[in-house]
């Protein structure tokens, strides 16, 4: 599936990649949604994937969700979604405040579990955090971390991560 791009210069277009991207002054201030299907790297407690854009400081994040879009080949390949105040590369040490996962105290719907994208997971299973978080002074870089040692796991699991917020539009990393 191609990436959908809404651009002030070109309007609604398709681009290579995956997800939805609203660019430039198309929606500079207001309510925004960023959704990307992320290929996850299997490793030991490292950043497994990240969104291609960050949310500028001053935003109020209202909802973060993760949906299993492809299962890996090994059981219990578990992940969590975190927000870091600095840019993190895939393969970097896992970091950030957990928004989705077993340690995310603010997760209210549907439950506070890690995302299981392993062979014993459920395709389409969704985790959702609908507790608003104010990013007053820091930008928000959304990453998916391995929730444990997955270095011996196999396959290429994917998770669709969606973030909704009020504030400035996202910026490409």
Q: Count Cβ neighbours within 10 Å for each residue of 117-149 and write b for 16 or more, e otherwise.
A: bbbebeeebebbbebebebeeebbbbbbbbbbe
**Which of 131, 81, 132, 76 lies closest to 102 in space, CA to CA?**
81
Kindly report, residue by residue over 20-46, the tens digit of the pLDDT. 666 655 567 888 999 999 999 988 889
Would the pLDDT of 171 be above 50? Answer: yes
DSSP-based three-state secondary structure for 153: coil
> Which domains, from first to last, does the chain contain?
34-172 (2.60.120)
Q: What is the pLDDT of residues 69-113, one digit of tens each?
A: 999 999 889 999 999 999 999 999 988 988 888 877 554 445 568
* CB contact at 8 A, 147 and 99: no
Cα–Cα distance list, 132 to 6, 61, 66, 108 (Å): 26, 5, 16, 11
Q: What pLDDT shows up at residue 111?
A: 55
Residue 33 DSSP SS3: strand
Gap between the Cα atoms of 62 and 166, Å rounded: 8
Host H or E run for residue 37: strand 29-39
Q: What is the DSSP letter of 150?
A: -
Neighbouring CB atoms inside 10 A of 76's CB total 16
> What is the band of 166 on the pLDDT scale with cuts at 50, 70, 90?
very high
Q: Can you tell me the mean pLDDT for 12-18?
A: 77
* Average pLDDT for 54-82: 93
- 16, 2 Cβ separation under 8 angstroms: yes
């Amino acid at each position: 599936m191609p990436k959908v791009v809404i651009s002030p210069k070109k309007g609604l277009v398709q681009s290579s990649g995956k997800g939805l991207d609203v660019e430039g002054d198309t929606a500079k201030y207001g309510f925004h949604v960023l959704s990307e299907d992320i290929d996850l790297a299997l490793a030991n407690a490292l950043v497994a994937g990240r969104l291609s854009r960050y949310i500028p400081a001053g935003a109020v994040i209202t909802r973060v969700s993760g949906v299993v879009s492809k299962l890996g080949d090994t059981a219990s390949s578990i992940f969590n979604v975190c927000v870091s105040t600095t840019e993190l590369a895939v393969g970097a040490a896992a970091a950030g405040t957990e928004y989705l996962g077993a340690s995310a105290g603010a997760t209210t719907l549907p439950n506070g579990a890690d995302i299981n994208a392993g062979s014993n997971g459920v395709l389409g299973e969704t985790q959702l955090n609908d507790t608003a978080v104010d990013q007053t002074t820091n930008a928000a870089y959304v990453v998916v971390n391995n929730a444990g040692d997955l270095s011996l796991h196999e396959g290429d699991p994917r998770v669709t991560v969606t973030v909704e917020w009020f504030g400035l539009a996202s910026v490409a990393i």
